[in-house]
């Protein structure tokens, strides 16, 4: 959460920083701020509560000169979203400006100690404590900013990615990270700092992913220096090529990123499976699995850790792996796993799923699993993020940048990769037949076409959404492979329309939730013609006989459901294990249009951030 950007070079910093903030806004939009230093060393700071657009209004007509600056978009942790709590924070003298993503866990102790030394605080944030601590150390030790930052960071517990500038020194910027991401972009005579690579795209394709406990000195006209927090020896600099384009970061004519990302799914799934299904569909090659064939062959158990939508994908992965690999699978919320005294043995494989690759709880779960000797496999979207860099092996889902806070194309990409993983590992273990692989492999190859068919439901779903815009509660039911789809459909609706929604295994409904059903509570039932279809028909009947209205997702040609359900959305038939990919798309569209009808900011739902980098 929180996005930080920094620039030092020859161009006006303000425009670059603002554009960077707009691209990082998915990380938080409680407030935004910028600190700019002019060539004469004077510093201007502007802040505004709310979105980056408010910052632009605040800074409009003011002095925004300077070719060095730092900027921040905030997801509030310590202190309410106010102008005062917005970053950049300044030290007591006003000489040092700092932006921060992360959480300083021992901030209260540090604040108390600094107060004893005469420091006063304007904000309630943990970040202000850090900038004051830097100034305190700098004055006490009569040292340079770099040494003071380094010393201060040694005293800090928690997570941080920071960028710091100092009044009077318009040619130097200091950046550092621990457990929060930070990318450095190397341009021609200019350097960029950002929480992820998106603000850098279009300026340079040369990037460096700072490692934990590294600190960078970015000096205009001099080569970049990176050191470890505990040593003066320069660290090696690994410049990587960025594979992102500006077009991928824009809405491309859609009203919202979420809608664009829903409609991208035929293409993203093409990218996701590219080169991974061979021999006419009858063999799956996932390099991370093949290269570690022995691990998968002799594994005792797989534990999947994830959060949110990725956790829903994990539940589908559990069924897939159990079915194809005959291997027990447990699925854990990363946040529960890490504190649940997990029993992990070296023959366990821990699979971590994360779109962003930066989710704090998932990262911590990986760390724990590694300490206990497990082989850790990551399934991520963002290339070069912390999770892929901290796992033993893994697979990228390759669905391109997902900017809408509500995850859509990442979910279908994750389920696709989990299907490939289950098939590939099943082949290695000899637990899946070639016929099964061929059937599913071919259906996956055909999936982009199938999804194009599903997307034809866009207009009917838009119409349907109007009927339910003002419902206060929703129930989502599914069975088997589609119980997690029901959870995912409910999460989509909750997070962008703020309507209370619950996902339930359909058969469990009669053990409690059925009491909620009345004519004001719509129920969405995912009912493809699979092995559990007859059972789910009974669930539809149970809802109807209590006066509830039913929206049913059924297969094409299933007209008999029209007799029972109030509204039917027909989707193409695919093998049972692939039904979540197909049936989740109408649910994404339904949530999207209901939120739009309610006038909500779909891409930036209240209180949420795209990647949850704090506990």
- Of 468, 527, 530, 528, the residue nearest 500 (C-alpha): 468
Q: CB of residue 396 vs ligand M6R: minimum separation in angstroms? A: 13
Question: Between 172 and 610, whose beta carbon lies closer to ligand M6R?
Answer: 610
Taking the C-alpha atoms of residue 124 and residue 121, their distance in angstroms, rounded to an integer, is: 8
Question: Between 132 and 309, whose beta carbon lies closer to ligand M6R?
Answer: 309
CB 181 within 8 Å of CB 211: no
Question: Between 308 and 401, whose beta carbon lies closer to ligand M6R?
Answer: 308
Question: Between 309 and 391, whose beta carbon lies closer to ligand M6R?
Answer: 309
- The phi, psi pair for 283, rounded to 5°, reads -145, 140
Chain centroid to CA 59: how far?
30
Q: What angle do CA 303, 408, 452 make, to 5 degrees?
A: 120
Q: CB of residue 361 vs ligand M6R: minimum separation in angstroms? A: 8
Q: Where is 294: in which H helix or E strand? A: helix 293-298
Choice among 51, 178, 227, 610 that is catalytic: 610
Q: CB of residue 408 vs ligand M6R: minimum separation in angstroms? A: 8
Q: With H, G, I as helix, E, B as strand and everything else as coil, classify residue 126.
A: helix
Question: Between 307 and 321, whose beta carbon lies closer to ligand M6R?
Answer: 307
Q: CB of residue 405 vs ligand M6R: minimum separation in angstroms? A: 5
Please report which residue ranges of 50-106 form alpha helices under DSSP H: 52-59
65, 127, 317, 422, 431 from 418: Cα distances, Å? 50, 39, 5, 6, 16
Question: Between 199 and 308, whose beta carbon lies closer to ligand M6R?
Answer: 308
Q: CB of residue 173 vs ligand M6R: minimum separation in angstroms? A: 28
Question: Between 111 and 409, whose beta carbon lies closer to ligand M6R?
Answer: 409
333, 380, 393, 412, 449 from 351: Cα distances, Å? 12, 10, 10, 17, 29
Question: Between 394 and 548, whose beta carbon lies closer to ligand M6R?
Answer: 394
Chain centroid to CA 193: how far?
20
Taking the C-alpha atoms of residue 85 and residue 95, their distance in angstroms, rounded to an integer, is: 18
CB 6 within 8 Å of CB 590: no
- Could you tell me whether strands 214-219 and 172-178 are parallel, antiparallel, or unpaired per DSSP bridges? antiparallel
Q: CB of residue 353 vs ligand M6R: minimum separation in angstroms? A: 7
Q: CB of residue 128 vs ligand M6R: minimum separation in angstroms? A: 27
Q: CB of residue 524 vs ligand M6R: minimum separation in angstroms? A: 17
Taking the C-alpha atoms of residue 444 and residue 24, their distance in angstroms, rounded to an integer, is: 33
610 in catalytic set: yes
CB 494 within 8 Å of CB 468: no
Choice among 2, 272, 307, 577 that is catalytic: 2
Taking the C-alpha atoms of residue 157 and residue 436, their distance in angstroms, rounded to an integer, is: 51
Question: Between 119 and 411, whose beta carbon lies closer to ligand M6R?
Answer: 411
Query: Where are any strands of DSSP class E within 382-529?
Result: 393-396, 473-478, 500-505, 523-526
Taking the C-alpha atoms of residue 225 and residue 243, their distance in angstroms, rounded to an integer, is: 24
Number of Cβ within 10 Å of residue 542's Cβ equals 18
Question: Between 308 and 478, whose beta carbon lies closer to ligand M6R?
Answer: 308
Q: CB of residue 391 vs ligand M6R: minimum separation in angstroms? A: 13
Q: CB of residue 596 vs ligand M6R: minimum separation in angstroms? A: 16
2 in catalytic set: yes
Token output for 379? 């399934």
- Binding stretches for ligand M6R (CB under 6 A): 307-310, 354-356, 359, 362, 405-407, 491, 495, 608, 611-612
Question: Between 164 and 306, whose beta carbon lies closer to ligand M6R?
Answer: 306
Question: Between 150 and 260, whose beta carbon lies closer to ligand M6R?
Answer: 260
- Could you tell me whether strands 523-526 and 473-478 are parallel, antiparallel, or unpaired per DSSP bridges? parallel
- Could you tell me whether strands 96-104 and 89-90 are parallel, antiparallel, or unpaired per DSSP bridges? antiparallel
* Cis preceding linkage at 88, omega within 30: yes
Q: CB of residue 384 vs ligand M6R: minimum separation in angstroms? A: 14
Chain residue at closest Cβ approach to ligand M6R: 308
29, 80, 111, 140 from 115: Cα distances, Å? 30, 21, 6, 15
Please count the CA atoms within 13 angstroms of the CA of 181 that sit on its side-chain side: 32
Taking the C-alpha atoms of residue 28 and residue 379, their distance in angstroms, rounded to an integer, is: 24
Q: Where is 320: in which H helix or E strand? A: helix 308-325
CB 213 within 8 Å of CB 229: yes
Q: CB of residue 359 vs ligand M6R: minimum separation in angstroms? A: 3
Give the strand order in the sheet containing 240-241: 43-49, 31-37, 68-74, 3-8, 191-194, 183-186, 206-209, 240-241
Residues known to be catalytic: 2, 610
């Amino acid at each position: 959460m929180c996005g930080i950007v920094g620039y030092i070079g020859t161009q006006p910093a303000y425009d670059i920083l603002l554009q960077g903030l707009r691209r990082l806004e998915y990380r938080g939009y409680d407030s935004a701020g910028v600190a700019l230093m002019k060539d004469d060393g004077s510093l201007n700071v502007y802040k505004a509560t709310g979105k980056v657009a408010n910052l632009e209004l605040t800074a409009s007509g003011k002095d925004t000169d300077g070719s060095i600056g730092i900027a921040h978009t905030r997801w509030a942790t310590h202190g309410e979203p106010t102008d005062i709590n917005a970053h950049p924070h300044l030290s007591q003298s006003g000489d040092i400006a700092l932006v921060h993503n992360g959480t300083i866990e021992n901030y209260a102790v540090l604040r108390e100690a600094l107060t004893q030394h005469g420091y006063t605080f304007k904000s309630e944030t943990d970040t202000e404590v850090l900038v004051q601590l830097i100034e305190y150390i700098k004055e006490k030790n009569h040292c340079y900013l770099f040494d003071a930052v380094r010393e201060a960071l040694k005293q800090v517990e928690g997570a941080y990615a920071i960028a710091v500038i100092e009044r009077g020194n318009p040619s130097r910027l200091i950046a550092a990270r621990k457990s929060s991401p930070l990318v450095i972009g190397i341009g021609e005579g200019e350097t960029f700092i950002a929480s992820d690579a998106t603000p850098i795209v279009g300026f340079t394709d040369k990037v460096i992913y700072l490692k934990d406990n590294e600190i960078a000195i970015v000096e205009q006209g001099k080569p970049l220096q990176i050191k470890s927090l505990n040593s003066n020896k320069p660290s090696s600099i690994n410049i990587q090529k960025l594979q992102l384009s500006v077009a991928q970061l824009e809405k491309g004519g859609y009203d919202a990123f979420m809608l664009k990302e829903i409609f991208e799914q035929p293409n993203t799934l093409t990218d996701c499976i590219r080169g991974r299904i061979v021999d006419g569909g009858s063999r799956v090659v996932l390099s991370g699995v093949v290269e570690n064939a022995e691990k998968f062959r002799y594994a005792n158990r797989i534990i999947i850790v994830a959060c949110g939508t990725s956790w829903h994908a994990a539940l589908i992965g559990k069924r897939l792996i159990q079915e194809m690999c005959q291997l027990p699978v447990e699925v854990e919320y990363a946040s529960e796993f890490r504190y649940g005294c997990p029993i992990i043995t070296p023959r366990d494989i821990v699979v971590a799923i994360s779109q962003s690759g930066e989710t704090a709880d998932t990262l911590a779960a990986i760390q724990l699993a590694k300490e206990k000797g497990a082989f850790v496999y990551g399934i991520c979207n963002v290339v070069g993020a912390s999770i892929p860099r901290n796992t033993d092996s893994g697979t990228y889902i390759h669905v391109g940048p997902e900017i809408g806070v509500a995850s859509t194309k990442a979910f279908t990409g994750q389920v696709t990769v989990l299907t490939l993983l289950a098939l590939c590992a099943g082949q290695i273990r000899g637990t899946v037949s070639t016929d099964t692989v061929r059937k599913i492999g071919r259906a996956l190859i055909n999936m982009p076409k199938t999804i194009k068919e599903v997307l034809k439901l866009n207009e009917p779903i838009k119409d349907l959404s109007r009927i339910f815009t003002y419902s206060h509660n929703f129930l989502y039911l599914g069975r088997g492979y589609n119980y997690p789809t029901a959870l995912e459909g409910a999460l989509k609706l909750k997070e962008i329309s703020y309507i209370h929604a619950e996902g339930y295994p359909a058969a469990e409904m009669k053990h409690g939730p059925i009491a909620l059903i009345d004519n004001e509570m719509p129920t969405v039932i995912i009912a493809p013609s699979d092995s559990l279809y007859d059972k789910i028909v009974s669930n539809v009947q149970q809802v109807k006989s209590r006066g509830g209205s039913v929206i049913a997702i059924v297969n094409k040609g299933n007209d008999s459901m029209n007799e029972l359900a109030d509204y039917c959305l027909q989707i193409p038939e695919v093998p049972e294990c692939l039904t979540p990919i197909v049936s989740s798309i109408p649910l994404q569209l339904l949530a999207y249009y209901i939120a739009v009808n309610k006038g909500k900011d779909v891409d930036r739902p209240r209180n949420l951030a795209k990647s949850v980098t704090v506990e």
